[in-house]
A and B are shown apart, each in its own frame.
Chain A
Amino acid sequence: MTVQALEIKRSSAAMWGTKTGLREKPVVSKYIDTTTCIGCKACEAACQEWNDLKTVATHQEGSYQTLPHLDADFWNLIRFNEREVDGGLMWLMRKDQCMHCAEPGCLEACPAPGAIVQYANGIVDVDPSKCIGCGYCSTGCPFDVPKFHKTTGKMAKCTLCVDRVEVGLEPACIKACPTGCLQFGSKEQMVAMGNARVSQLKGAGFQDAMLYDPQGVGGTSVVTVLGHGHPEWYDLPRDPHVPLLVRAWKSILRPLGVLAAFAAVIGVFGHYATYGPKEPPEGDGVGEGRTK
Chain B
Amino acid sequence: MSSASAQPNRVDRAIVVARDRDNVVVAGEIVRHRRATRIIHWTVALTFLIGLLSGMPIWTPLFGWMAYLVGGMEVARVIHPYAGVAFVIASAFQFFHWLGDMHFASDEKDWWRPSRMARYMRWEDEASEEGGKYNGGQKLFFWAVCLGAVGFLVTGIPMWFPLRFPALLREIAIILHDVTFICFLIGVILHIYLGTAAEPGTFRAMTRGTVTRSWARLHHPGWFRKVTGESRDKRT
Chain A residues close to B by CB (< 8 Å): 13-15, 111-113, 130, 132-136, 138-139, 144, 148, 243, 245-246, 248-249, 253-254, 256-258, 260-261, 264-265, 268, 271-272, 275, 277-281, 284-292
Contact = CB atoms under 8 A, between A and B. Distances in A.
A257 B214 contact: no
Contact of B199 (A249, A278, A285): A278
Interface stretch (B73-81, B86-94, B104-112): B73-81
B122 interface: yes
A207 to B, nearest CB: 33
A139 B9 contact: no
Interface stretch (B39-47, B95-103, B136-144, B173-181): B173-181
A227 B199 CA distance: 73
B193 interface: yes
Interface in B23-60: 27-29, 57-60
Given A133-B74, A144-B167, A248-B175, A268 B189 contact: yes
B6 interface: no
B67 to A, nearest CB: 9
B195 to A, nearest CB: 12
B74 A288 contact: no
Interface in B146-190: 159, 162-163, 167-168, 170-172, 174-175, 178-179, 181-182, 185-186, 189-190
Given A254-B60, A260-B186, A271-B121, 16 more contacts: A15-B61, A113-B73, A132-B58, A144-B167, A243-B171, A245-B168, A248-B175, A254-B178, A257-B181, A268-B198, A272-B193, A281-B218, A284-B217, A288-B28, A288-B214, A290-B28
Contacts of A287: 236
Contacts of A13: 60-61, 64
A249 B77 contact: no
Interface in B202-226: 210, 212-215, 217-219
B77 A132 contact: yes
B123 to A, nearest CB: 5
Nearest to B163: A148
Contact of A243 (B73, B167, B178): B167
Contact of A264 (B73, B189, B236): B189
Given A280-B218, A291-B28, A134 B62 contact: no
A254 B28 contact: no
A290 B178 contact: no
A139 B162 contact: yes
Contacts of A135: 162-163
Contacts of B197: 268, 272, 277
Contact of A285 (B172, B186, B212): B212
A19 B9 CA distance: 68
Contact of A292 (B13, B181, B210, B219): B13
A286 B235 CA distance: 10
B85 interface: no
B12 interface: yes
A256 B182 CA distance: 9
B59 A111 contact: yes
Contact of A272 (B61, B186, B198, B214): B198
Nearest to A142: B167
A290 B171 contact: no
Contacts of B229: none
Contacts of B210: 290
Nearest to A287: B236
B198 A280 contact: no
B27 A148 contact: no
Contacts of A14: 61
A144 B170 CA distance: 13
Contacts of B186: 260-261, 264
B233 to A, nearest CB: 13
A167 B168 CA distance: 40
B174 A139 contact: yes
Contacts of B170: 139
B9, B13, B178 — which one has the most chain A CB atoms within 10 A of its CB?
Answer: B178
B28 A289 contact: yes
A15 B77 contact: no
